[in-house]
Structure 1
């Protein structure tokens, strides 16, 4: 395999990625937002990836004494472009798109200890599809550990699109500046405490007349969910919306999203309102179904399983709502 990046030879690139992961390989604009710390091929379509979760992250910081479970999603999301470029020879400029994402974890492994968490990922890739020698799609099965203890498993699938294919798929929406210009006005946020957040700036849902029906807030200025310009709502924004909608459904009970099963069915555009509907599943304690609808069509579906938590007095407890939008 070969990877086109600067003038690095493949062996030099392997050594480089074993020591650190440049932000370009995980499609981040800010180096400090790179969670991955190393990459090691250990067999055909099998890889070990290491990561570090900061305890003081401004958006994915601990809550109720536990690391944010969406760090799991962001960590795996970063492995998608990393393995695409480093393992499967995808050139920079290609786009990777999620189609499905699932995880199930033991919340006890997410207990924050007051310092960064060392994370290990054992990744097996299957259903690798190539057309005319070009990497097209793959399924990833991931076993994760945190500080040496088993955390749980993740399954995801994604596809790769070249700079020639993506604009044909997106049509007029491929123009990022125009897509952003047509964005609907940003609706006022829900109180942060209702969605397990401490700042209004981090609330991605707006209230409606129906308690469990909310509107997706697409704030292009958010420094973490919109780390770089995009032409549609990012997958991590939709996962955050599903998680926040789950907290709304849970009411005042502190819970953690111990499992999530998500299917992405279409892009969520900026020029129409997207409605997030949450409902407790009948006969399934702690399970919340979240549906996103735009222009009368389902955009993504999620089933979130929650585990009750006791409020913690340690760092990371949710403070009361604040009126400022400081970051």
Structure 2
């Protein structure tokens, strides 16, 4: 199969020679080998171009791909941890985008089909997450496994990712998801959420931002319940990152953020950096029903071991999602 690439060719030598003669700047500054741009936002299910992390991809064979990405030194939501490290959740968002891109661009999934994330696992290497003097340029290897099809149509798969920064292992992850056609999606969802005039629950008050590792109350996704280690999910559908576009349920990345904030509060560590994250999504979390978030500390195998928090989401007395987050070693 022929390779597919997404890149922008730099100007020709003849073009840059003419430009150099007409410009007061050194000719070397006019000779880029390749111009960098993000992939089309539609391929990664983002409305805002600024939230696209991926910058290119290339097919290696039927199931292996290489991608490129960039993380900014600062971000309005994926804020640096303790001012020194890239947020691990930006890595989770990056590998999520990889699956959407490949599904549409390489596996032929039409726009309008829905993606139901089933599992997400992520391990980061804190030393490689340190913020430098320039945005982090990343190379991502992707291997697709358990590719499921109905006829020629992709119905789901699992894919494993390895993220490197200047050759250094930075993160590794695994995601599995199901692809749902528009017709099936309409049958699966409660009719009320697809009707005009559907509205979510009124927005509840946030917990104190500093208790969950946040600076602004607008970025807090937990509300107090009056019970220890239990919160109400706070889903602000106006949030420009977590709700980048209109949806009829709580996005998976918002649930990951809820898990991270709950673990941060449970540990009492505002600069909590999760090194290992493992999440399973049981069902859609509805916007018009309360969702309770609980956090418990799991037993340590030995004194001094890293701490792990189990976070669960419960809606309508049914498990909605569960996540374990393990803190990086001090």
Q: Residue 16 and residue 85 in structure 1: after superposition, are their counterparts in 2 closer, same or farther (change >3 A)?
A: farther
Paired residue secondary structure (2:60) = strand
**SS of alignment partner, residue 141 of structure 2:** strand
Cα RMSD, aligned residues only: 2.1
CA distance in 2, matches of 1:223, 1:253: 23
8 Å Cα contact 2:300-2:307 kept in structure 1: no
1:158 to 177, 182, 202: 177
Whose Rg is larger?
Answer: 2
2:222 maps to what in 1? 205
Alignment of 1:88-99 (within 5 A): 88-99=107-118
Change (3 A) 1:12 1:283: closer
* Alpha-carbon contact 2:282-2:321 (below 8 Å) kept: yes
- How far does residue 255 in structure 1 lie from its aligned partner after superposition? 2.4
**Separation in 2, partners of 1:209, 1:110:** 36
> In the alignment, is residue 105 of structure 1 matched against residue 141 of structure 2?
no
Distance 1:70 1:253 in 2: 15
Residue 178 of structure 1, CA deviation: 4.1
In structure 2, relative to structure 1, the CA distance for the partners of 1:192 and 1:87 (3 Å cut) is: same
Which residue of structure 2 aligns with residue 168 of structure 1?
187
Which structure 1 segments of 5+ residues have no match? 2-9, 310-327
Q: Output the CA distance in 1 between the equivalents of 2:8 and 2:295.
A: 44
Q: What TM-score, normalized by structure 2, do the two folds share? A: 0.86
CA offset digits 1:217-262 (Å, max 9, x no partner): 0101100000000000000000000000110011146321000110
Mapped to 1, the partners of 2:7 and 2:270 lie a distance apart of 47
The two structures have a TM-score, normalised by structure 1, of: 0.86
Counterpart in the other structure of 2:15: none
Deviation of the 1:20 alpha carbon: 4.0
> Counterpart of 1:125?
144
Alignment match, 2:54: 36
User: Deviation string for 1:53-89 (max 9, x for gaps)?
Assistant: 0112111121211100000111011112100111101
Q: Could you tell which deviates more after superposition, 11-20 or 163-172?
A: 11-20
* Alpha carbons of structure 1 residues 62 and 19: separation in structure 2 relative to 1, 3 Å: closer
Match of 1:7 in 2: none
Check conservation: 2:6, 2:56, Cα contact below 8 A: no
Task: Give the Cα separation in 1 of the matches to 2:221 and 2:134.
Answer: 28
Distance 1:48 1:84 in 2: 14
Q: 2:315 aligns with which of 294, 301, 320?
A: 294
Query: Is the 8 Å Cα contact of residues 256 and 308 (structure 1) preserved in structure 2?
Result: no
Q: Deviations over 1:73-110 (max 9, x none)?
A: 11011112100111101111111110000011211111
Q: Unpaired runs of 5+ in structure 2?
A: 10-35
**Counterparts of 2:4 and 2:81, CA distance in 1:** 40
Q: Does 1:78 align with 2:105?
A: no
Contact 2:297 2:309 (8 Å CA) reproduced:
yes
Equivalences, count: 299
SS in 2 for 1:43: coil
The Cα offsets for residues 244-285 of structure 1, whole Å up to 9 and x where unpaired, read as 011001114632100011000000001111000001002254
Q: Does structure 2 retain, via aligned residues, the 8 Å contact 1:106–1:151?
A: yes
Change (3 A) 1:295 1:131: same
- Taking a change above 3 Å as real, the CA distance of residues 74 and 253 of structure 1, as seen in their structure-2 partners, is closer
Deviation (angstroms), 1:307: 1.6
